[in-house]
Amino acid sequence: MVFEALTTLAPFASLPLRILIGMAFIDHGYPKVIGPGRKQTRDWLKSIGIPGVLGPLAGLLELLGGISLLIGFLIPLVGILLSLEMIGTTILSKKKLGKKYLLGYELDLAYLAGALALIVLGGGPFSLDAILGL
């Protein structure tokens, strides 16, 4: 009976996920796009053999994607793009940087899981997607 009552809340499941993951992506993306973090990210990527231009591009995706998650705009598309980025960062962490799961790439996988969930859940009733009928 309790579980049946909880299923009525299912349409609202994406809201806390969108807010938390959106804020996290904004927090990760902002320094890569604006300020000294932009150059640091570019230089670090070059030092490990990756084109430096990917740093600001990833930062832009994270910043704009995070804003999009907060307002609930184009959630499935943003979820796909962020999922692809998180797959890339997980591969980078594991293969190129040799990081272990714990204190390594577990956060990338958590963001990936959240982005994948949002692809399926969509923006929910409290989203710009719902208002626009997308």
pLDDT tens-digit map of 2-23: 777 778 877 888 999 999 999 9
pLDDT in tens, 97-127: 778 877 778 999 999 999 999 999 999 999 9
Distance linking the first and last C-alpha atoms of the chain: 33
The CA distance from 85 to 32, in Å, is 14
Residues above pLDDT 90, as percent of the chain:
63
- Cα separation, 33 vs 10, whole angstroms: 35
Does position 1 have pLDDT exceeding 70, yes or no?
A: no
Span 83-100, pLDDT tens digits: 999 999 999 888 877 788
